[in-house]
Amino acid sequence: MKFLHTSDWHVGKTLKGRNRLEEQARILREITQIAIDNDVDVVLIAGDIYENASPTADAQRLVVRTLLRLAKHGIEVILIAGNHDHAATFEAYRPLMDIAGIHVYGQARPAAKGGVHTFHARSTGEPVNVAVLPFLSQRYAVRAAEIIANTPSQNVGAYDQLVRDVLANLTGAFTSDAVNIIMAHLTCTGGTFGGGERPAQSIMEYHVPAAVFPVEAHYVALGHLHRRQQIPAACPVHYSGSPYAIDFGEQNNTNVVCLVEATPNTPAQITDIPVTAGRRLRTVEGTVAQLTSDPAGYGEDYLRLVVTQPAYAGMRDDLYEALPNALQILIHPDHASTGATAGISVDQPIKTPVQLFADYCHSVGVSDDRVTALFNQLHDDLTRSTARP
């Protein structure tokens, strides 16, 4: 049987205020056509379907139409919530989506209560088991472990052990006559960040080693890290990556979907299929004269400009007028001067809230792990898009 693995669509994502919904529509049409052309049995979407927990009506319309088009062609569709998605809303629409042949999972559940989706591949008749694990924050992992694995994990134990307990329950439903797949949205230890992930839910407390995935799995379809990569493990563990560059930190990523072929008795064969509908993000450096000398040469690329000369009054307007696809202007640090860069960013690394809070604690002489833990908990509650179970 054949299936397509994709993730991290982030539909509704804007970039420096630029609406990208039309671009995202082209990308999803391309992914859908790849699935149809390759006559896949199932499409697995491993989380972060939307950019945020309250997607616009237009963003939801685009996703729903994409899913329905896949289902209309007889393709099984299975998707899970990522940390950007609103898990409770996914669960609310689950009964309706099931009728359409679209299987949505917002929250983790035991194998006995639907945590493993089982079907027969239309092309071969082979049974397929897909263990689904939507994103779990550190706090909700404890609750999930208690509900699913019946373990007395009362706020103790490492995050990876809690995930192990959940996966042990789910993969206990795997059978030797089937193609057994795990789909999860999480950070695997050793994985390389793509550049646009949400740092608060990708830090060390959220890492799990690839050893959590059992050798019985024919394939592990991961979402969350935006870079296409394979994680060394006893079974094939893959991130498909995002199908387009989410932010300028991802401008050099290769955007693909993974076409996977597997049988119950043979290893999975993975083929990367490029996704080319997304607009390229490009950082270019030079003086104003150099940057604006050949506007047509940039094509439709979105630009981040790094200016290698001192700022002058009206420079920002000159650049945006000459280069309408420029989304950000930075002054190279060698040419930055006090008071000369109003409205223009200086090229400096952006710190995460966790790093900023650590800097603040250091500045006021506070060194207390309990304070740090409380901040992380509060930050998780604010950035966590899933309603409390």
What is the per-residue pLDDT across 68-95, written as a single tens digit (0 to 9) for each? 999 999 999 999 999 999 999 999 999 9
Helices (H), 256-368: 288-291, 315-322, 353-363
Structure tokens at 71: 């289902």
pLDDT for position 189: 86
**Mean pLDDT of all residues in 112-132:** 96
Tell me: pLDDT of 134 over 90: yes
What is the per-residue pLDDT across 367-376, written as a single tens digit (0 to 9) for each? 877 777 778 7
* Radius of gyration (C-alpha) of the chain in whole angstroms: 22
CA-CA distance, 132 to 221, in Å (whole number)? Answer: 10
**Mean pLDDT of all residues in 117-130:** 96
Direct distance between the N- and C-terminal alpha carbons of the chain, in angstroms, rounded to an integer:
36
pLDDT for position 50: 97
Structure tokens at 19: 């609406």
Across-strand partners of 103?
78
Is residue 329 within 8 Å of 308, Cβ to Cβ?
Answer: no
Domain residue ranges in the chain: 2-274, 281-346
Which amino acid is residue 84, in one-letter code? H
Is residue 228 within 8 Å of 253, Cβ to Cβ?
Answer: yes
Which amino acid is residue 168, in one-letter code? A
What is the per-residue pLDDT across 238-292, written as a single tens digit (0 to 9) for each? 999 999 999 999 999 999 999 999 999 988 999 999 999 999 999 999 999 999 9
**Mean pLDDT of all residues in 198-216:** 72
**Mean pLDDT of all residues in 372-384:** 70
Structure tokens at 323: 């280069």
Which amino acid is residue 141, in one-letter code? A
Pairing of strands 127-133, 179-185: parallel
The CATH topology of domain 2-274 is Purple Acid Phosphatase; chain A, domain 2 (3.60.21)
Q: What single-letter DSSP state applies at residue 247?
A: S
Is residue 189 within 8 Å of 208, Cβ to Cβ?
Answer: yes
What is the per-residue pLDDT across 29-53, written as a single tens digit (0 to 9) for each? 999 999 999 999 999 999 999 999 9
Is residue 171 within 8 Å of 217, Cβ to Cβ?
Answer: yes
pLDDT for position 257: 98
CA atoms lying within 13 Å on the CB side of residue 258: 28
What is the per-residue pLDDT across 288-310, written as a single tens digit (0 to 9) for each? 999 999 999 999 999 999 999 98
Counting residues of the chain whose pLDDT is more than 90, the rounded percentage is 69
Which amino acid is residue 251, in one-letter code? Q
